[in-house]
Structure 1
Amino acid sequence: MTTPFLPPQLWRRPGLHVMAMLLALVLLFLIDTATRYEVAVSVFYTVVIVAMAHVLALRGLMVLTGSCIALTWLSFFITRYGDLRAGQINMLISTVAILITGYLACRAELARAAAHEAQARLLRISRIHSLEGLATSIAHELNQPLAAIVTSGHACQRWMEQDPPNLDKARQALLRILGDADRASAIIGRVRKLSKGEPASPRPFVFNAAVREVLALSQAEIQRLDIAMRADLAAGLPLALADPVQVQQVIANLVLNAMEATALVDIARRTILVESLQLQDKLVFRVSDGGPGLPAGAQEQVFEPFWTTKHEGIGVGLSISRSIVESNGGHIWAEPHVQGGAVFAFSVPVAPQEGPA
């Protein structure tokens, strides 16, 4: 079993928390030193450790625990009042209490890091699962520029074999080859972005462009399943502020789910509507399908881990989608479609407009 990656810094969220911690340590040390041996003030160092458990990283918790023990012993040797034997007992009890509290806090931090690592692995599984579902579409879209490159290459060969060679036509064929190669490279780049497990990097981006890229990857699968998809993307939307790759993963997951649900009904009902709009300071993506719909009362359950209505599903896609959306400052929800089927939507924040320079 490998140890989860832990950040090397001592402080996870520096600032007022650290200042309050230092002030508390100083006050406890002064009070402990100024009181008699019989008063076990040093045991309250455990309260400081518990309070800082969600602020300090693992190494910071270890340093804090050691510092509390050192302050306890230092205070004992400086104090000159009271029963020495009672002071020794209180010092030992306080030291054991601090050690146990620090150990439990470190174990909790390790568990938190392990949970974060497990979530990252599930996120990668969800990415791969979404891409597997769109494999046919990706192959079809990639095949188009590759076939065009072959066609243009043969044309270029014919123009060059003429006597004299038709250099203008050959040059045009070569330019088409370069253009189609760039198209194929862009497709591969989009797929690589969706499959890589990089940390979140929120930045302003064009929301509708991100939607269109995902829809382009799913177009061939839509045609194969005889699904009528309509995109109603609002014009003039402001920039979104989120991680565009993660947002595209959520879009891909929702579109893939809509396709799988719609494929279960008669061809006449196989419709999907994709929308984008602005609601106050949020941009909203919404996909409505004509599938069987959600079970009664399942609007919240669908986002729970390992809850699924699919026979071969693992139930992590929507749960991870919720984590992604919420970590980017948005919200995700589901609701029944008035015409049958289901509606899934999520929101992300609008990027703040830049003021005058």
Structure 2
Amino acid sequence: MPLQYRRMLSLAGMVLVMAAIFVADTLTEYAVAVAVFYSVVILAAVSLLTARAAIALACVCIALTVVSFYLTPAGLYKVGLINSGISIVAISITTWLALKTEAAQAAAHDAQARLLRIARVTSLGGLTASIAHEVNQPLAAIVTSGNAGQRWLAQDPPNVEKALQALDRILSDAHRASDIIDRVRSLTKGEKPRKSAFDLPQAVREIVSLSRGEIERHGIALEAHIDDMLPAVLADRVQIQQVIGNMLLNAIEAVASGPAHRKNIRISTSLTDGGGVLFCIEDAGCGLSPEALDHLFDAFWTTKEGGIGLGLSISRTIVEANGGKIWAEPNASGGATFRFSVPIAKGKTT
């Protein structure tokens, strides 16, 4: 059932409950404070309404309480007056507390979104050297082709054909540099999942390409088993690439300070038994302790010096928001393995 219809049914149900409370409050004696149950209606409705609408609802409940008081046929008038006053105070306080709670939750969600953006930029900061390496490659090629083009044009007579070939290479390398910058920019956007069908192996290769400079700088041997025949997946490409990038950075950090013969990282993609595509990354680092396994995906929990403990927590949020699962386990020979799966999409890749 669509969310809009569920919302309408919920509001209609609350109107019926309010009507039932009004009838019960009117027909019972003054000593029975049925009107206090309007507070329950407000608590249930505040998440469905704006702040102004919730206040308006509280005013309606107070008005119904007053009308019911004057229409009540039996009981002690003074007792009824006290009970009505208590009910009105309860309705007012409940509305105030409910609105404060909703405002606090909204502030918490906003803070979480800001932390998500900060963590994206922070994790991206670890790729700075790699990004510079990737951008410098096409820029250096552009300079080389430009110098070659000048030499071809300086000949007598000018070699226009060779100069045009040099210009073609310059345009190609410029587009390559632009593509790298676009991918980096997209990784910093804090957007909700925009699910579409895409080729996960190609997305993995893009992140590996961005990280190549960092991998080479630390002398790490990267073994990739990427199945190009996998079906397209349905998820937010940029967000899934962020998860892959975070996992790869963690693996690089895990093996960077180790002995040369253990500077190994293995990544792979495959099908899952449950109808999804699996990404797996294994490192030969120091491994995972039992305590780490218990808290690995908890927010603000980290074993890194200077870390903020948000990378894996956000990764889990992203994967689950895209309909997948993420988990980790220690390797028998040392190191750790991280995996996540995302559902298969029907249709063409993008």
Judge same fold: TM > 0.5, yes or no: yes
Q: 1:13 offset after TM fit, Å?
A: 7.0
Number of aligned positions between the proteins: 343
Alignment CA distance shift 1:93-1:129 (3 Å): same
Q: Is 1:127 matched up with 2:127?
A: no
1:284 counterpart SS class:
strand
Name the counterpart of 1:348. 342
Report the AA paired with residue 124 of structure 1. R
Alignment CA distance shift 1:244-1:18 (3 Å): farther
Name the counterpart of 1:234. 227
Which residue, 207, 231, 239 being the options, matches 1:246?
239
Name the counterpart of 2:200. 207
- Aligned 8 A contact 1:276 1:283 in 2: yes
Name the counterpart of 1:332. 326
Report the AA paired with residue 232 of structure 2. L
Q: Is 1:220 matched up with 2:213?
A: yes
Name the counterpart of 2:159. 166
Deviation digits for residues 266-316 of structure 1 (CA, Å, limit 9, x no counterpart): 110111111222221332221110001112342131111222111222212
Q: Is 1:274 matched up with 2:267?
A: yes
Q: 1:124 offset after TM fit, Å?
A: 1.4
Name the counterpart of 2:93. 100
Deviation digits for residues 157-202 of structure 1 (CA, Å, limit 9, x no counterpart): 2223333333222222222111111111110100001112223322
Report the AA paired with residue 230 of structure 1. E
Deviation digits for residues 26-85 of structure 1 (CA, Å, limit 9, x no counterpart): 322333334343332211111122233444454443343333223323433444444433
Q: Is 1:157 matched up with 2:150?
A: yes
Report the AA paired with residue 348 of structure 1. V
Q: Unmatched 5+ residue regions in structure 2? A: none
For the residues of structure 2 that align with 1:216 and 1:300, how far apart are their CA atoms? 32
Name the counterpart of 2:141. 148
Name the counterpart of 1:318. 312
Alignment CA distance shift 1:32-1:282 (3 Å): farther
- Aligned 8 A contact 1:57 1:109 in 2: no
Alignment CA distance shift 1:281-1:148 (3 Å): same
- Aligned 8 A contact 1:214 1:251 in 2: yes
Q: 1:138 offset after TM fit, Å?
A: 0.5
Q: Which range is displaced more, 219-228 or 58-67?
A: 58-67
Name the counterpart of 1:6. none
1:204 counterpart SS class:
strand
> Aligned Cα RMSD in Å?
2.2
TM-score (norm 2): 0.90
Q: Is 1:68 matched up with 2:61?
A: yes
Report the AA paired with residue 296 of structure 1. P
Name the counterpart of 1:7. none
**Percent of matched pairs sharing the same residue:** 53
Which residue, 250, 256, 273 being the options, matches 2:249?
256
